Amino acid sequence: MSIHPTAIIDKQAQIGEGVRIGPYSIIEGDTAIGEGCEIGPHVIVHSYTSLGERCRVHSGAVLGDLPQDIGFKGAESYVRIGSDCVIREGVTIHRGTAPGTSTEVGDGCFLMAFSHLGHNVRMGRNVIMANGALCGGYVEVGDQVFISGNVVVHQFCRIGRLAMLSGNSGISKDLPPYCVTVGCSRNTVGSLNVVGMRRGGLPPDARKIVKSAFQILYRSGLNADQAIAVIKEKLPNEPASEFVEFIEGSKRGICGGHVREGEQDSG
């Protein structure tokens, strides 16, 4: 263990073996820092925050501060961060709002500089979130999602597995699995995340099924309900059924398709 003499560590903090804590960082009580973590300078880890093993937290990050929610009444709530995460400069992650609730980050996530997770966000494994991206309260992010720079995700939105949000885009509706938003746009799907699917290990046959489901959903001229019925009939197996489950579980509606010349928006 290596703790800089200017760091302030509460006696009630649980610090694992091999942890390194840099200058002027503050670790409050009722926290847990897993083995092998590296905490850079000027980091604040507030109470009720836990980090798994081997996380790297860079300068000026603030983890576990109070939620920016007028409904918060001061109850005990949490931030839970998995293992092997990288949290870059100025990242902010806020606690849950209701008593006993939490904001959760899965293993292997990479949160770049000045990105933000609001209260009660649930982030899956191996998510990449680029500089300046913002997730509002209660957002759900699937595994292996890529959120590009300066993206804005409205509260309560859901993002499906292996989806990608292009730079400067925003969503206030749910983004289905494997889909890519159009840059500098709102609630608009432009294509499939083919590179992400390959990196995520989807074999060619599975990618072909996803492409067929995407064509039915966004290029057939059918509305979402009609498209889902066709997908269920023609493509009943995984991974097309992931589209179906995601869309049927949507409460906000899903992002629409990019309207090409001569086409109608089928989203």
Residue type, 57: V
Q: What is the pLDDT of residue 243?
A: 87
| Domains (range + CATH), the chain | 2-141 (2.160.10.10), 199-257 (1.20.1180.10)
CB 45 within 8 A of CB 58: no
Cβ within 8 Å of residue 154, ≥6 positions away:
136, 139, 170, 171, 172
Interval 9-30: pLDDT, tens:
999 999 999 999 999 999 999 9
At 262 the pLDDT is 40
pLDDT of residue 258: 79
What is the mean pLDDT for each group of 10 consecutive residues in the chain (267 residues)? 96 98 98 98 98 98 98 97 98 98 98 98 98 98 98 98 97 97 94 94 95 95 94 93 94 85 39
Side chain identity at 121, as an amino acid letter? V
- List beta partners, residue 186: 170
DSSP at 64: E
Question: Which residue bears the tokens 């197996």?
Answer: 237
Angle at CA of residue 104, ends 98 and 105, nearest 5°? 160
Average predicted confidence (pLDDT) for the chain:
95
Whole-model pTM: value is: 0.94
Hey, which residues does 14 pair with through a beta bridge? 32
Return d(Cα 181, Cα 196) in angstroms, integer: 13
Q: Which of 70, 44, 47, 43 is nearest to 58 (CA)?
A: 43
Q: Length of the chain, please? A: 267
Residue 259 has a pLDDT of 58
CA distances from 110 to 27, 88, 179 (A): 21, 8, 20
> In the prediction, which pLDDT does 12 show?
97
For residue 180, the tally of other CB atoms under 10 A from its CB is 23
Q: Which residues are CB-neighbours of 120 under 8 A, at least 6 positions away?
A: 67, 96, 97, 98, 101, 102, 103, 137, 138
Axis crossing angle, helix 224-234 with helix 204-218, rounded to the nearest 10: 150
Say what the pLDDT of residue 265 is: 38
